[in-house]
Amino acid sequence: MRPIQRLRMRLRALFLGDRVERELVAELEFHVEELTRQKIERGLSPEQARAEALREFGGMAQLQEECRDKRRTRWIEEFVTDLGYAVRLFAKSPGFTSVALLSLALGIGANTSIFTLVETLILRELPVREPGALFQIVGVTPGQDNAQGSFSYPTFQFFRERAAMFSRVFTWTSRRIEAGEGEVMEWIAADLVSDDYFPGLGAAPALGRALADERDQPFVAVLSHGWWRRRFDSDPGAVGRTVRLGGIPFTVVGVMPEGFFGAVVGSSPDVFLPIGAETLLNPTTRVFAQPNAVRLPLVARLRPGVSEAEASAGVERLWPSMIEETGPRDREGNLNESFRAFKSRLRSASNGVSNLRQRFQGPLRVLGVVVVSVWLIACLNLSNLMLARAAKRQREFALRLAVGAGRGRLLRQMLTESFLLAAVGTALGVLFALWTSRLLTAWLSTSRDAISLDIRTNSAVLGYTAGITILTTLLFGLIPALRALRSSLRPVLKEGTHRIAGSGAASRSLLVVQVALSLLLVAGATVFLRTFQNLLAVELGFDPDRVLIASVEPGRVEWKDEAAARFYRDLQARLQALPGVEAVSVSSKTPIQNCCWWEVLDVQGHTPAPGERVGGMASPLNTFLNSIAPGYFRVMGTRMLRGRDFDERDAPNGQRVAIVNEAFARKYFPNVDALGRIISMPPEYKVGPMEIVAVVENARYRDLRGPTRLAVYFPIAQAPDRDTSLEVLLRTQGPPLALASAVRQQVHSFHPAMPVKFRSLAQEVEGVLTNERLLALLSAFFGVVALALGAIGLYGIVAYSVTQRTGEIGVRIALGASRASVLWLVMRQSVLLVSLGLAIGCAAVFALTGSVDTLVFGVQPAGVVTLTTAGGVLSAVALLAAWLPARRAAGVDPLLALRYE
Amino acid sequence: MGKPSDLIQGTLDLLILKTIALEPMHGWRIAQRIQQMSGDVLQVQQGSLYPALHRLEQEAWIKADWRETENNRRAKFYSLTVAGRRHMEKELANWKRLSGAIGLVVEPSR
């Protein structure tokens, strides 16, 4: 009861204020009347009695005030008053307000969005039971950052059978497969998972059962919630139905709950199949039993009661025999050297497994530094603006203190103003963050490699933002407020506005820090913009403009090998006839995004070094392979240096031939002509030796940095590893994607339900530059923001000091000072401060340069060019910002200035 | 118009609560009653009385309503709430303990 009554009293005081006031007056008036009555009874005349009663009663207003104080709602009422006052004040200076709000929105918004991304990608735990017990087994090379997280199936079996400290060891592999048949076919993402996958992850299905021991019965599927909703319209009867995947009927046995995406952060598989289905879906696959096919991640769940240290020690004990028994070997039986050098490590997988994490860690770290710097600059800037305002309002405060306002009360009012700014700024910042987080995810996704992240501003992110806001409020609200109140009153009141001790040392040091941070950001922008530029200028070895890539999947059931070959031949002929098409070809791989097929080839006359020939891994010694149709090099714009292109002579039963790139020719045939030489595939492919018929120029296959790789091309008709899923390549006259519908029409004239996906080669190349583009764009954006904020800050300080010194400047001019000397007088300080800031900034750049080494290309982060560019731009902007008010000072009319004094 | 020096705050609260525990009354009557019952020793100034009443009301120890006085005039009458009565009893016990203790110190011989 009591809390309710108390609340009722507060609410009454807040919302029925008038009535409460009237009642208070009536109550006190009653008392006075009773007092008067008493005095009349004692014999005084009514007038006398009333006068005496009033005198005795004392200050009515003061008593009312004391009673009001007891209501405990005073602070709310005052807060509302202060808020109204603050709104009016801010509305009166729209320039200050918009700069302040913009700084805050950018500072807080940028921090929130980057932190949201960090939280989603790195920190958030998997939505499974006891995610803390999950660990990934990886191999690390001592002294190197990146870890080997992929192993062969035999390695997986080794750990599953031998690692007693884990209750479960599981693995999975992802692939795209076509789903459905007839009219409705689509590409979906499938995770092929080992038996222990679901119990190991600790995930239970929402419907039906998860996968268990499916070694004998691999034709079962578990659906993701999203695909169940899309494909089966959330029908609970889907369990037990049959769905055709890759042309094979699978029985649906379960549906996973919403939000479950497996173990890989950033992926969103549509179905989960037993790993045994891999051989069914792709008969040529070599995942199993092949120690060289290292592509499976290993994740394990700790046995209850086993500590992480014990498990780690256990893995370390097993490690040497694992390498000995299951490590990748060449044909002579030598272990791969880099694999042998790996040391074991357990990595927590409570937040999932992600290659995105490794890929974006560097950029995210840099962006973190950038956004924190921007936030600091924004706060410094705000602090400076508030300092200047507080100095301007010193007289107002002095006056209010003099008429009896409490210091605490004034402090509270200033805090209210800061709070209002921070609140509105935060609201804007959160809006900004929501928008940019989505933008960031879109930017990180490439055409091939869609990233699906469940971006949501959750409590941690909100807490982070709120924390920043409180810090911001304190930082820029309290310091100026304290400063304004600490100064003594009398001189202020006596001397008027223009002689106030300025916001001197504090704002000057703030400015130095701001310049230093700005230099850091501008230098970062320079470095990342130039990295991006340099990468764009890299010689690709092909011309990515005007190339359309169409992924066509003929499916396995209706299209046997010869039929598929005929299909591609006919399709190529029809597409060639389309208007706007210059050349058409077909290949199994495309550069950059749909790469790579690595092997080590036997070269007649070349004896390999021990351990050199380990296929499957992207080692620099391995050769990039591709099966191509005639005309591939014409479509790609890759120059043929010697020899001939493939043609109809290179039939399945004809002489086996190959085309090699310059790097391959130079490595294996340094002194002789490569044409006519014989090379052959590893014996497990069971194809005969091939004669080299041409040498083509080097091209980039996977990334734009690093050394040029070796490459060998086969005629598609003789492809040693037949893959029915091929890419159709078209060199177009106009924008490539404009031809998409015409191409689709042609494909559908063969098979109306065949799924076709389009992308342009230019998109693919851009995709590999995601990080660089992101860093370049964001660092440039924030560099400009930093410059703008810095310029505004400097302009504000100089303009303020000019206003303060108008009298002094007037006297100087009157005494004969030249305009130039006045200009210098005003600028001198700015030049000094900016130089100091630049020096500190340079030191910071030097200190941070090591952490961005892997992110830059062709630029020295702390090089002369970077620092002079950044320093030059910054000085130019800063001096302009100082020069504008200085020029005004030099133009002061001494007569006016002195009269003003 | 400060508080009378002989009335520390907690004591005034107790006096008010005890006074209106008998029957609801308005501020003027409370002051009169306290003065009268203390044999004119305790004079409660309005400067202390009304803020105290408002504070007690905010604390929900007492509640107020407007009623007619015996002279047919409307006045704000205060009465104890249930929580207020409990609070008063606690305060009373405290007071007895405290005054007894002070008595022991001040006049140890008795």
Asked if A30 lies within 8 A of B57 by C-beta distance, the reply is no
pLDDT at A645: 92
Which residue in the set B28, B46, B73 is minimally distant from A63, CB to CB? B46
Helix (H), strand (E) at residue A800: helix A770-804
Q: Domain boundary residue among A350, A374, A389?
A: A350
- A interface test, pick of B3, B26, B54 with most A CB neighbours within 10 Å: B54
Q: Domain check: are A376 and A427 in the same one?
A: yes
In a domain, residue B4? The reply is: no
B1 pLDDT band (50/70/90 cuts)? very low
Count other Cβ atoms within 10 Å, centred on residue A581. 18
Angstroms from A420 CA to nearest CA on chain B: 29
SS3 category, A540: coil
In a domain, residue A115? The reply is: no
Asked if A30 lies within 8 A of B47 by C-beta distance, the reply is no
Q: What is the DSSP string of A682-699?
A: -GGG----EEEEEEE---
In a domain, residue A111? The reply is: no
Q: Domain check: are A599 and A625 in the same one?
A: yes
What backbone torsions phi and psi does residue A268 show, to the nearest 5 degrees? Answer: -145, 80
Residues of B in contact with A22 (CB under 8 A): none
Asked if B60 lies within 8 A of A5 by C-beta distance, the reply is yes
What's the rounded Cα separation, in Å, for the pair A279 and A534? 43
Which residue in the set B28, B59, B60 is minimally distant from A34, CB to CB? B28
Q: Domain boundary residue among A350, A378, A413?
A: A350
Residues of A in contact with B26 (CB under 8 A): 27, 30
Nearest to A184 by CA among A239, A230, A253, A238: A230
A407-444 helix and A94-118 helix, angle to the nearest 10 degrees: 50
Nearest to A352 by CA among A202, A152, A139, A147: A202
Which residues of B make CB contacts under 8 Å with A?
Answer: 1, 26-28, 46-47, 50-51, 54-55, 57-60, 63, 66, 73-76, 81-83
What's the rounded Cα separation, in Å, for the pair A705 and B41? 97
Q: How are beta strands B74-80 and B25-26 bridged, if at all?
A: antiparallel
SS3 category, B79: strand
Asked if B51 lies within 8 A of A70 by C-beta distance, the reply is yes
Which residue in the set A2, A33, A66 is minimally distant from B83, CB to CB? A2
Half-sphere exposure of A682 (CA within 13 A, CB side): 18
- Whether residue A823 contacts residue A886, with contact meaning beta carbons closer than 8 Å, is answered with yes
Range of the structural domain that residue A379 is part of: 359-536+770-900
- Bridge partners (DSSP) of residue B67 are B75
Q: Domain check: are A701 and A776 in the same one?
A: no
Residues of B in contact with A11 (CB under 8 A): none
Q: What is the DSSP string of A729-752?
A: EEEESS-GGGGHHHHHHHHHHH-T
Angstroms from A386 CA to nearest CA on chain B: 39
In a domain, residue A548? The reply is: no
Q: Report in angstroms the alpha-carbon separations of A638 from A41, A582, A665.
A: 119, 15, 16
Q: Domain check: are A600 and A515 in the same one?
A: no
In a domain, residue A88? The reply is: no
Q: How many structural domains comprise chain B?
A: 1
pLDDT at A570: 87
Question: Vertex A326, ends A325 and A330: CA angle to 5°?
Answer: 100
Asked if B58 lies within 8 A of A9 by C-beta distance, the reply is yes
Helix (H), strand (E) at residue A295: none
Q: Report in angstroms the alpha-carbon separations of A114 from A45, A432, A433, A439.
A: 81, 11, 8, 11
Q: DSSP letter at A167?
A: E
3-state secondary structure A347-407: EECCCCECHHHHHHHHHHHHHHHHHHHHHHHHHHHHHHHHHHHHHHCHHHHHHHHHCCCCH
What's the rounded Cα separation, in Å, for the pair A753 and A181? 8
Q: Domain check: are A336 and A247 in the same one?
A: yes
Q: Domain check: are A599 and A719 in the same one?
A: yes
Q: Domain check: are A518 and A599 in the same one?
A: no
Which residue in the set B26, B57, B81 is minimally distant from A30, CB to CB? B26
Q: Domain check: are A881 and A813 in the same one?
A: yes
Range of the structural domain that residue B96 is part of: 9-105
Q: Report in angstroms the alpha-carbon separations of A763 from A347, A448, A548, A725.
A: 34, 9, 10, 20
In a domain, residue A803? The reply is: yes
Q: Domain check: are A511 and A587 in the same one?
A: no
Asked if B51 lies within 8 A of A35 by C-beta distance, the reply is no
In a domain, residue B97? The reply is: yes
Helix (H), strand (E) at residue A229: helix A225-232
In a domain, residue B50? The reply is: yes
In a domain, residue B71? The reply is: yes
Binned average pLDDT, 10 residues per bin, chain A of 901 residues: 76 78 86 88 87 82 80 76 86 81 81 80 82 90 74 90 91 83 72 90 89 74 91 89 86 91 85 85 63 84 92 92 84 75 86 76 81 82 75 75 78 82 85 81 64 67 73 71 64 50 65 87 87 85 89 58 76 89 89 72 76 55 84 92 88 87 90 88 79 92 79 84 73 88 86 78 80 82 83 77 78 85 84 89 83 75 79 87 83 72 50
In a domain, residue A660? The reply is: yes
What's the rounded Cα separation, in Å, for the pair A544 and A766? 10
Asked if A31 lies within 8 A of B81 by C-beta distance, the reply is no
Asked if A30 lies within 8 A of B63 by C-beta distance, the reply is no
In a domain, residue A606? The reply is: yes
In a domain, residue B2? The reply is: no
CATH label of the domain that carries residue B99:
1.10.10.10
Q: How many structural domains comprise chain A?
A: 4
Angstroms from A3 CA to nearest CA on chain B: 8
Q: Domain check: are A626 and A662 in the same one?
A: yes
What's the rounded Cα separation, in Å, for the pair A104 and B58? 40
Q: Domain check: are A893 and A812 in the same one?
A: yes
Q: Domain check: are A579 and A632 in the same one?
A: yes
In a domain, residue A418? The reply is: yes
Mention every residue, 6+ apart, whose C-beta is less than 8 A from residue A4. Answer: none
Residues of A in contact with B12 (CB under 8 A): none
What's the rounded Cα separation, in Å, for the pair A747 and A732? 17
Q: Domain boundary residue among A317, A350, A383?
A: A350
Residues of B in contact with A27 (CB under 8 A): 26-27, 50, 75-76
Which residue in the set A2, A34, A35 is minimally distant from B60, CB to CB? A2
Angstroms from A66 CA to nearest CA on chain B: 6
In a domain, residue B1? The reply is: no
**CA nearest A32 in B: which residue?**
B28
For chain B, state the CA radius of gyration.
15
pLDDT at B2: 38
In a domain, residue B95? The reply is: yes
Nearest to A133 by CA among A312, A451, A350: A350
What backbone torsions phi and psi does residue B79 show, to the nearest 5 degrees? Answer: -140, 160
